[in-house]
Structure 1
């Protein structure tokens, strides 16, 4: 049993989740949750390490108190404000004409070596999105296939070195270490997207308080990430300025907007900025105009970002919205008008055992995704933030299974008794058994 700790340092709130993960059964259960107001972060970037570390420490201590365990290493999200997408390619020859996991790693490392990463950036994640064996392309997983040449297309998420260092200092000051750093958009995708959506092509938009993370998946692979410095807090600012009311009143108006519309209210009473005891009347019509103008601008900018990615024509499954912004009244219907007819849905996190009841809302997509990242959810191959090669199973497990299955086939050819596959591969998932069988069919 392994304890996982996920830390999501958002612009408005910091979430810490502790979960128990059984690597044999692949079962995960949430045992502790802590949520604190974020301080020291503006527009997704850490601007005050001391304040940000206090937010993390408060959220973590609450989660630890509930879980009853002390986990010091955390899987942490990082906003796309720090990152950029880079595409690279790698080609390697295959000695022995047989593709193994090591050849796949070598091809990915070659693509990483060929990448043009700016000097002030470093690797965050490297995710292959297309393999080619000799002349056969669009291969999802080439392990076990025969060929003389392996090519890979690699999507690299590069991150500012200063951003990583500040994040590490913040966690260290909170008494924690970083186990891995994950793109917030990628984590949200793990939590909210369905496999068929990722295969058909989907754009995930995680809209938080002050930032929007964009992640585009095609053929089950992450192909593009981007960032927009717009979020729900901009609506609050617009209302505050337009109505000349304090930010606290503007935030309440935003939250209760759906109630006002449903009740057909024409005027509401609000405070005057600078003198909160003085009251004034605000028109619902004016409030609606301010809110709609900001929302329309947000979705127009996001649609432009998707178009500039060059992948819009590959998005067959549509748009998935997640994050706190999606709690806004009628947001799905409003968004549907701005993505050229693409279907739009609101994404909520996948259900997890344990203390999940208060986390099944769009604003918790990223921390839930971080937990799933720790279980290798949806993983084929990746170079992570520690520059480690990750697969669903280790080299040793895969090599052992291929060797064992080779022995089984040889016994069958000699009409010798064979061992049951279930006893040999008891530590692997059924989906992995099927993959081994597929590999063997290609190998032999």
Structure 2
């Protein structure tokens, strides 16, 4: 089979990262060929606030990656910030007429779970991830394919996003000259790049500590079972330092980035420019820097702890927590997190090692963009209904990549289809909406139809 080039586009609130990876189906090998980064404009906490500015930032990052790689991508996979996502649990039940479960039964069961998901009318479905199967009432089935039985049940974690935010991001990406093949939750992508098989099996919480938000996912066994976001990030530390030290934001950012090096050098006083006074400088104590940084980190960890306690999964994290993202590089954040989470095991994670530009895997801030490339190459949950409403499964990705090499699909969100045309292109973006379900008001005919789907 021919090689394919995948563009992973991590749409962050502070920076947009782009990576182009070459995927070789014959050897199942992924190699990073190019990397690009641009300052984010037109987005706030992952939400598009100015389409034109956002498209310019996306174009700059993608152009740099393509220039480094010397090629254009065949597939584009874009991250969706956790800031405008949510989730619900849903269940699907189908009969197995042949007595043996095939991919068709799994597909029917997952589509039933998708149809049964109760979501707000302004939300669209991003992922349907099965975390448990039952065959004839027998639970803890890891993979039901090929098993004998007459009834298949699937329990899914359905990740949703705000419809208008998705559409605005699609428009901005199209204006940048790119067409999206898949949209992936940012925390999901980071999990693909950082978590080990054993951690997933035992239960693990991943926190991607970003610039303006912290994305949270919990992985138990087969799949993600929880996702959330905290609207606090490393930029809050920068602003705190700027205020406390009375210095411009650019200098405060530099202090934050080099904090560990400053500690190791033994510096006790810093000479800093004064806010609003270009020619004036003043001295600032490193003790103030340390107090400001630790106070913000402590507050962030407390807020994260509250999120995990409210989720109900804190006591199910058998392998503890994994921290990644740019903020995870701050000094002593691992020990402080473990202490505040009652001595839970904590690991600082970089993205898994891949061929090509090795330095990409050496930086924790690249976890999401590497995970997006992995997703495009076939690394995903064993079964999944993706942002296009299509079933993905492990043995299908090679065939899928071959058939979609020159096809750029926009996300398809079931059911009510809406078509609209980008001003500068004749390509149609098809989006469908799932209307809000209400069991009490459901028409009798719809109930009968769903029952027939379960039987056949």
Match of 1:54 among 48, 53, 56: 56
Separation in 2, partners of 1:354, 1:22: 13
Separation in 2, partners of 1:31, 1:208: 24
Separation in 2, partners of 1:259, 1:32: 29
Tell me the residue number matched to 1:321: 323
Separation in 2, partners of 1:176, 1:138: 41
| TM-score (norm: length of structure 2) | 0.84
Check if 1:95 corresponds to 2:97: yes
Contact 2:212 2:232 in 1 (8 A): yes
Contact 1:246 1:276 in 2 (8 A): no
| TM-score (norm: length of structure 1) | 0.87
Displacement, 1:74? 1.0
Contact 1:192 1:349 in 2 (8 A): yes
Stretch deviating more after TM superposition (57-66 or 218-227): 57-66
Stretch deviating more after TM superposition (355-364 or 128-137): 355-364
Q: What are the within-5 Å matches in structure 2 for residues 208-247 of structure 1?
A: 208-247=210-249
Tell me the residue number matched to 2:265: 263
Q: What are the within-5 Å matches in structure 2 for residues 404-415 of structure 1?
A: none
Tell me the residue number matched to 2:407: none
Separation in 1, partners of 2:236, 2:398: 51
Separation in 1, partners of 2:348, 2:258: 20
Separation in 1, partners of 2:362, 2:78: 20
Separation in 2, partners of 1:304, 1:254: 26
The C-alpha deviation readout for 1:104-156, integer Å capped at 9, x for no partner, is: 11111111111101100001011000001112101111000011111111000
Does the residue aligned with 2:395 lie in a helix, a strand or coil?
A: coil
Match of 1:172 among 174, 181, 194: 174
Tell me the residue number matched to 1:392: 394
Match of 1:191 among 177, 190, 193: 193
Match of 2:38 among 36, 39, 55: 36
Tell me the residue number matched to 2:19: 17
| Structure 1 residues 384 and 25, CA gap change in structure 2 (3 angstroms) | same
Contact 2:93 2:109 in 1 (8 A): yes
Contact 2:230 2:304 in 1 (8 A): yes
Stretch deviating more after TM superposition (253-262 or 72-81): 253-262
**Greater Cα radius of gyration, structure 1 or 2:** 1
5+ residue gaps, structure 1: 398-444
Separation in 1, partners of 2:343, 2:149: 42
Q: What are the within-5 Å matches in structure 2 for residues 81-230 of structure 1?
A: 81-230=83-232
Q: What are the within-5 Å matches in structure 2 for residues 371-382 of structure 1?
A: 371-382=373-384
The C-alpha deviation readout for 1:342-370, integer Å capped at 9, x for no partner, is: 10011111111112324421100001000
Displacement, 1:187? 0.1
Does the residue aligned with 1:178 lie in a helix, a strand or coil?
A: coil
Separation in 1, partners of 2:135, 2:91: 14
Aligned residues: CA RMSD: 1.6
5+ residue gaps, structure 2: 400-456
Contact 1:14 1:38 in 2 (8 A): yes
